[in-house]
Structure 1
Amino acid sequence: MSKHNIVFIGLDTHKVSTEVAHIEDQRGAKTVHQGKIKTTKAAITKLASQYQSKYPNATLHFVYEAGPCGYWIYRLLTSLGHCCYVVAPSLIPKKPGDKVKTDKRDAMKLAKLLKSEDLTPIYVPEPEDEAIRDLSRARETAMKDLKDAKYQLKGLFLRNNISTKVKDNWSNQHLRWLTELVLPHPSQQIVLQEMIQTITERIKRVERLVNELAHQAKLWRYYPVVQALQAMRGIRFLVAVGTIAELGDLRRFDHPRKLMAYLGLVPKENSSGDNRKQGAITKCGNGRARRLLIEGAQTYKHNANVSTELQKRQETLPKVVIDIAWKAQLRLCRRYKRLMQRGKHRNIVVAAIAREMLAYIWAISREVILVPVDPSTRISRVPA
């Protein structure tokens, strides 16, 4: 047994149980189904010890699919000194004629594909980065719930032919008008009061999450990058922190085109010979970060200008970052107008601007020096 250098172990993880299979690193080796274990830290630690005892001179390489169970298995195995990979289910090769899918087959398939190097591991964020990402996603969910509550109230007004007399919706004046509104039936009045109360609670919930995100982001190791990205037009605090929370360390991309492809902002292509056919964007990768960039890209329809608010965000930033942001604004504003004059659809133009924004975001992230975080203060800074 000691002659093997690497043992590839596939894990088909679920909430309660995990199927295990392995294959040895030698020509003609067969995939072996190990069995089923519980999805607990104790069971996975025991499994790793059993494999280490069986193959004392071999390196153990574990692999499992990304899913709702998160990354705790990856962190557990790497803390034990083993190699672990997390792969996206959409990137796992599948034969067209393979119509039988079971947990046992999936575990054996993962081990075999890892040995043949046909799997592409995904980026696993650090626990601190994942915590900020969860907070950012919680704010986004709260905003969605607030919009849904407002749509329901507008639907009630539409059904009863009620039109508001206040132009600024959801302002203090508008909320006072809502409390003074009296509907003809007592049942509808109860519904109205419940909707108003729901909207008020959800507004406060969004405010709490935004304040907490602003506080926690200052203690985050990527806060200098968040500050630097706000030098660009269309990227305020929430967009900057949401983008970095979803993408993590941008320095792992050695070229901006790889970052564009990672976010699915490159066009589909089906070319053969002299024929080249391109379609819509692939929409691969992280959809939340792509949506944030699409929102920011729409601001480049206006002429290039440094507003008062943008200038305030740039006051404490290095000159090299400000120069990159101004260069980006000049180019992207011109490109937006040029594409619109060529008759391109507005959505296509915005997607193209968002794709080029990524190149400047990547360039800014390379200019920011991440100072090691002091454990006592946990605060980083942007060097002048």
Structure 2
Amino acid sequence: MKAFEYRRVKNDERDAADLADLLRMGRLPEAWIAPPATRELRELVRHRAKLVGLRSHCKAEVHAVLAKCGVTVSMSDLFGVDGTALLDRLRDSAQLPAPYAARIGSLRRVMDGLEFEIEHAAGMVRGRLALHPGYAAVQRIPGIGPTLAAVLVAEIGDIDRFDRPEQLTCWAGLTPTHRESDAHVHRGRITKQGSRLARWAVVESVQILPATTVVGQFRDRVAARRRHNIAVVAAARRQLEYVFYALRDHHVRALDAQPHQHTQRHHQHTDAA
């Protein structure tokens, strides 16, 4: 307990008395321990995320080797159809010096193995979540597919431990820090506490949302007044609130209405005011 760090006398008896006082006042922080099924699901989801990170690292190394050799990559995806054809031509034509070609070949073989392991882990995750009602409901939110939905379901766990969506966004570390003294109020960066993987999932889900969606329109509206990064974080916070209702109620009523209906009601309210 950081509140007790100022004490000059610290022993087990004083520690027990202070903890008892906090418990009596209802101010003793508690931590939720996930059940075995949730911990097993998290293990699979986090393992897949780690494998994807290793694959991305290998891709970056291939790009670095080509840059050393002065090879121009004209396509947007080096590991798509056209990019794979380019790598095959470089291998067959012996345009690259042997050590560089050997490194690229080794990295490609490692990525093939990682691709198999990633698909295997994803299949195990899908099997465990096949009958999960919240998993299907979260995927109905624009921007969230099977992979991001699995991350959110595994990392959040039991949604009933949160009474309000604001508690979920606070747990995920998407709320700004708040420091207040007298009439001075300062709100800083987001806390970034809680699950880093869950925070990444919701931020990733709103990055390329079209403006025709409710969250996409909200993101663009905030971006017009503030910086793009601030708008993305605000949209991610709104997206996580929708995830809360999808997991709790298996339905998000706020997404039933079309964005233009929200805009029309907003203009009517503004005109009336």
Higher relative contact order (CA 8 A, sep 6+): 2
Greater strand proportion: 1
- How far residue 248 of structure 1 moved from its aligned partner, in angstroms, is 0.6
User: Does the 8 Å CA contact 1:264/1:285 hold for their aligned counterparts?
Assistant: yes
Q: RMSD of the alignment, in Å? A: 2.6
Aligned to 2:180: 271
Q: What secondary structure, in the 3-state scheme, does the structure 2 residue paired with 1:279 have? A: strand
CA distance in 1: counterparts of 2:15 and 2:156, whole angstroms = 26
CA distance in 2: counterparts of 1:273 and 1:280, whole angstroms = 21
Cα-to-partner distance string for 1:109-159 (whole Å, 9 max, x where unaligned): 875554233641211111011101110001100000000011111111111
Answering whether residue 101 of structure 2 is matched by residue 218 of structure 1, we say no
User: Does the 8 Å CA contact 1:92/1:119 hold for their aligned counterparts?
Assistant: no
Aligned to 2:20: 115
How do 1:112-151 and structure 2 match up within 5 A?
113-116=18-21, 117=23, 119-151=28-60
Instruction: Evaluate the alpha carbon distance shift between residue 338 and residue 368 of structure 1 in structure 2; reply closer, same or farther with a 3 A threshold.
Output: closer
Bigger radius of gyration among the two:
1
Q: What secondary structure, in the 3-state scheme, does the structure 1 residue paired with 2:174 have? A: coil
Answering whether residue 228 of structure 2 is matched by residue 228 of structure 1, we say no
Name stretches of at least 5 consecutive residues in structure 1 with no aligned partner: 1-90, 305-328, 370-384
Aligned to 1:292: 201
Aligned to 2:216: 333
Instruction: Evaluate the alpha carbon distance shift between residue 168 and residue 259 of structure 1 in structure 2; reply closer, same or farther with a 3 A threshold.
Output: closer
Match of 2:152 among 243, 261, 286: 243
CA distance in 1: counterparts of 2:178 and 2:77, whole angstroms = 46
CA distance in 2: counterparts of 1:201 and 1:110, whole angstroms = 52
Instruction: Evaluate the alpha carbon distance shift between residue 161 and residue 281 of structure 1 in structure 2; reply closer, same or farther with a 3 A threshold.
Output: same
Aligned to 1:308: none
- How far residue 175 of structure 1 moved from its aligned partner, in angstroms, is 2.7
Aligned to 2:241: 359
TM-score with structure 2 setting the length: 0.79
CA distance in 1: counterparts of 2:237 and 2:85, whole angstroms = 43
CA distance in 2: counterparts of 1:161 and 1:224, whole angstroms = 51
Cα-to-partner distance string for 1:194-221 (whole Å, 9 max, x where unaligned): 12211222222222222222222215xx
Answering whether residue 200 of structure 2 is matched by residue 200 of structure 1, we say no
CA distance in 1: counterparts of 2:3 and 2:39, whole angstroms = 28
Greater helix proportion: 2
Q: Which moved more, 1:195-204 or 1:287-296?
A: 195-204
Instruction: Evaluate the alpha carbon distance shift between residue 292 and residue 189 of structure 1 in structure 2; reply closer, same or farther with a 3 A threshold.
Output: same
CA distance in 1: counterparts of 2:240 and 2:77, whole angstroms = 35
Ranges of 4+ aligned residues in structure 1 off by more than 3 Å: 91-94, 107-114, 164-168
CA distance in 2: counterparts of 1:110 and 1:247, whole angstroms = 32
Answering whether residue 259 of structure 2 is matched by residue 347 of structure 1, we say no
Q: How many residues were matched structurally? A: 244
